[in-house]
Amino acid sequence: MYKKLLKKLNADKVRKSNNVELEVSPVLDDMITSIKNIVGESDDVVQRDFLIGRKIKASLFYIDGLADENGIESKVIKPLIYFSNDGVENLEGDAFLDFLEQQVTNFIELSVETTYDDAILPLMSGETLLVIDGIPKFILFETRQFNQRSIEEPESEIVVRGPRDGFNEVLHTNVMLLRRRIRDPNLTVQFGHLGRRSKRDFALVYLKGVTNEELVEEMRYRIACIDIDDVAETGDLEQFVEDNVLSPFPQLLRTERPDKTSAQLLNGKVVVIIDGTPFVMIAPLTFEEYFKSPEDNYDRWQIGTFVRILRYVGAFIAMFLPALYIAMVSYHQGMIPTTLALSIAGSREGVPFPAFIEALLMEFTIELLREAGVRLPRPVGQTIGIVGGLVIGDAAVRAGIVSPIMVIVVALTAIASFALPAYNISITFRMLRFGVMIAAALFGLFGIVISYILINIHLVGLRSFGSYYTSPFAPYEFSNWLDLVLRAPISLQKTRKAEPSKLDTKRQV
């Protein structure tokens, strides 16, 4: 039954319009009827009839709001109506079309299509469609205009020093931002459509001569395999093209920063930009990428190194601190120095719960606060932080629900998790933390180390577009260690990163 249904669905997979090609007739009225049949009863499709050279009937279609009306008026309609050339009467069909193209219209981007399918899609995205009586072809003018947000500093990746521009929602602006940074003619930008219904534009960007062609092919192939109504965000796309769907770890890098993106392009990676989102997707990703911020390179190398060490420690704290607290308090009291052990025991005296429940309560609260803070309007969000952090924490201690030391642990964990430059990996760490806490509650330090081993096993098995996720830790790539936990002076970093494999490995000669 189920299989039958599946078979039927698969049989219907090919769209009707792919099979049945509408025939293009040279009669203007027929063409207009067909176009109207296709675009339906939409009120925002504007039809404008006029006479070319005051003689030949023609019709022009565009979508109100998407196309630039001033441009249509001054660069398309005006020249077409008012041109005067007496020899034109003899021209027929294609010759007439060429004449119009070359001598009359003064529009830069213009294309001629022969099927309805090819003509309607550009029309729907804002181009202007011109049909002329007697010519069974479609002339399209690139009149798309974009109302766009100005280029602002990205909010999810803030730097102290560095460029303040970020991607916005318009594909062409984003590509422009990259072009402006890398003026190499080898920077290749390829456009395509994505989504069965939405036909969203996307761009595949890579640096020819550096990026491995196999990687580009693989990305192209995986994107081509997607069959879905709409891909709203690169996050959507990510889940279709990534290697392991079950893993909690993100396997593709996303960023809003053009400077970070261009640095990744120079490392031989492939960038996918989708229209409608400021987040671009970069493949492949290695684990250590999440501990790097573009800012590291802009400041002194000592500063970069220090900050990076802080991030690694932060990640460790975010993942293991509550678990260590649980393990120490419930199993290995002997490991804590005597005086501290006494004070912990003293402060936990009134607490009715075991350490695990206590930690779980507080960690859950802080996650709730974080989520609430993000969702609320900005002015209220900050209040939530203060109310949650200070008031609830203090009240919980006074009420004897948790011990003061637990509040320290939770606060440290929360702060440490926010120190990571990438938001999505910090959520992964915070999520895994609960698993580690359970392991610690069951088996103490043994549980913690087993969960550490399990996470590592998972990581060494992960691939991101064929690249080892744990590189350059495993396999060892010592030349890359200069830019790992340390951020050695840039003049020493002579090679590009080891993953992905690339055509040109030297970045300085």
Name all contacts of 426-432 with Cβ < 8 Å and 24+ positions apart.
426/318, 428/248, 428/249, 428/250, 429/315, 429/318, 429/319, 430/318, 430/367, 431/248, 432/248, 432/319
Cα 333 to Cα 323, 420, 434, 438, 492: the distances in Å are 14, 31, 22, 18, 47
- Tell me how far apart the alpha carbons of residues 38 and 273 are, in angstroms, rounded to a whole number: 30
- The single residue among 294, 468, 496, 502 that binds another protein, judged by CB under 8 A, is 468
485 binds another protein (CB under 8 A): no
486 binds another protein (CB under 8 A): no
- The single residue among 38, 158, 189, 336 that binds another protein, judged by CB under 8 A, is 336
Rounded to 5 degrees, what angle do the CA atoms 488, 492, 498 make? 85
- The single residue among 206, 320, 331, 429 that binds another protein, judged by CB under 8 A, is 331
| Interface stretch with another protein, choices 64-72, 83-91, 402-410, 438-446 (CB under 8 A) | 438-446
325 binds another protein (CB under 8 A): no
Query: Where in 198-217 is the site for another protein (CB under 8 A)?
Result: 214
CB of 326 to another protein, least distance (A): 14
332 binds another protein (CB under 8 A): yes
**Three-state SS for 192?**
strand
- The single residue among 112, 445, 482, 488 that binds another protein, judged by CB under 8 A, is 445
463 binds another protein (CB under 8 A): yes
460 binds another protein (CB under 8 A): yes
Q: What separation, in Å, do the N-terminal and C-terminal C-alpha atoms of the chain show?
A: 65
Rg (C-alpha) for the chain, rounded Å, is 30
Contact between 218 and 466 under an 8 Å Cβ cutoff? The reply is yes
Looking at beta carbons only, is 357 or 445 nearer to another protein?
445
| Interface stretch with another protein, choices 86-94, 97-105, 361-369, 460-468 (CB under 8 A) | 460-468
491 binds another protein (CB under 8 A): no
- The single residue among 346, 350, 461, 489 that binds another protein, judged by CB under 8 A, is 461
Rounded to 5 degrees, what angle do the CA atoms 483, 487, 492 make? 70
474 binds another protein (CB under 8 A): yes
Report which DSSP code applies to 43. T
Provide the 10 A C-beta neighbour count for residue 334: 8
- Tell me how far apart the alpha carbons of residues 206 and 185 are, in angstroms, rounded to a whole number: 11
450 binds another protein (CB under 8 A): yes
475 binds another protein (CB under 8 A): yes
Query: Where in 102-121 is the site for another protein (CB under 8 A)?
Result: none
- The single residue among 392, 427, 454, 488 that binds another protein, judged by CB under 8 A, is 454
- The single residue among 369, 448, 484, 498 that binds another protein, judged by CB under 8 A, is 448
Q: Provide DSSP, 303-342.
A: HHHHHHHHHHHHHHHHHHHHHHHHHHHHT-GGGS-HHHHH
CB of 455 to another protein, least distance (A): 10
Contact between 294 and 261 under an 8 Å Cβ cutoff? The reply is no
- Tell me how far apart the alpha carbons of residues 428 and 436 are, in angstroms, rounded to a whole number: 12
221 binds another protein (CB under 8 A): no
| Interface stretch with another protein, choices 117-125, 166-174, 233-241, 446-454 (CB under 8 A) | 446-454
Provide the 10 A C-beta neighbour count for residue 2: 6
Which parts of this chain interact with another protein (CB under 8 A)?
214, 331-332, 334-338, 443-446, 448-450, 452-454, 456-457, 460-461, 463, 466-468, 470, 473-476, 501
